[in-house]
C-alpha cells in the first residue's frame, strides 16, 4: 500500500483558523485607538504646556511690578468667575502712579492682555478657564494665585491641562 503524503491544509482547516484569528482580532482592533491615544497624550500635554507657560510667565513678569492696592479682580459678562485682572505698575524708578495699566482677561477661549487700554493681544488660545484669586486668611496677604486650564480637542477626546502660579505683589 502506498501512503499518500499531505503537504497542505484542507479548506475546512483554513476556514477554522481564519475564524479563530478573526475572533481574536475584533477586541484588539477596538483597543488599538486607545493604545495610540495613550502614546499621543503626552505630546498633546507638552504642546499645551508650551503654549500656556509663556502666557503665565508674561503675566508674572508684569505682576512683579504691580502696585498691590491697584490690583482688581473682576468677572466680565459671559465669562467664568474671576477671569479678569487689572493693575497698575510702578515706573522704572519705583515711584507709584506713573507706570502702565495692564488688563488680563479671558475672552471666549482666548487669554488676552492689553496695556493702557490699547488693542488686546492674545497670549494663549484653547483656554477653558482662568481664575485670579487673592487667598483670604493667607499668611501673606500680597500673594496672588493664577489658575489656568487649557483644553485641546485632539482626536475628539478633550484633553485638559492645568497650570497654577503664585506671585507676591509689591506692598504699598
Residues 135 and 144: their CA atoms lie apart, in Å, by 7
Predicted pLDDT of residue 20: 94
> Closest Cα partner for 49 from 132, 165, 136?
165
pLDDT in tens, 62-80: 888 888 888 888 888 888 8
Residues 108 and 52: their CA atoms lie apart, in Å, by 16
pTM exceeds cut of 0.75: no
pLDDT in tens, 98-141: 688 999 999 888 889 999 989 999 988 888 888 888 777 656 66
The vertex-137 CA angle with 171 and 88, nearest 5°, equals 30
Cell of 146: 493664577
Cell of 57: 510667565
Average pLDDT, rounded, for the chain: 81
pLDDT at 154 over 70: no
Segments making up each domain of the chain, as ranges: 43-168
Distances (CA, A) of 112 to 3, 23, 123, 125, 130: 86, 53, 6, 9, 11
Place of cell 497670549: 123
Cell of 36: 495610540
Predicted pLDDT of residue 70: 85
pLDDT in tens, 7-53: 788 899 999 999 999 999 888 888 888 788 778 777 777 877 787 88
> Closest Cα partner for 164 from 117, 126, 132?
132
User: Helix or strand or coil: residue 57?
Assistant: helix
Amino acid at each position: 500500500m502506498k501512503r499518500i503524503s499531505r503537504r497542505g491544509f484542507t479548506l475546512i482547516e483554513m476556514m477554522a483558523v481564519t475564524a479563530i484569528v478573526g475572533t481574536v482580532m475584533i477586541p484588539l482592533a477596538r483597543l488599538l485607538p486607545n493604545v495610540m491615544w495613550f502614546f499621543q497624550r503626552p505630546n498633546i500635554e507638552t504642546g499645551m504646556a508650551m503654549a500656556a507657560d509663556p502666557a503665565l510667565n508674561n503675566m508674572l513678569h508684569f505682576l512683579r511690578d504691580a502696585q498691590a492696592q491697584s490690583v482688581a479682580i473682576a468677572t466680565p459678562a459671559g465669562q467664568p468667575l474671576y477671569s479678569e485682572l487689572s493693575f497698575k505698575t510702578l515706573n522704572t524708578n519705583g515711584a507709584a502712579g506713573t507706570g502702565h495699566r495692564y488688563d488680563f482677561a479671558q475672552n471666549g477661549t482666548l487669554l488676552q492682555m492689553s496695556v493702557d487700554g490699547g488693542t488686546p493681544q492674545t497670549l494663549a488660545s484653547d483656554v477653558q478657564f482662568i481664575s485670579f484669586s487673592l487667598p483670604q486668611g493667607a499668611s501673606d496677604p500680597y500673594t496672588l494665585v493664577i489658575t489656568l486650564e487649557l483644553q485641546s480637542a485632539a482626536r475628539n477626546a478633550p484633553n485638559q491641562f492645568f497650570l497654577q502660579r503664585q506671585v507676591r505683589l509689591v506692598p504699598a
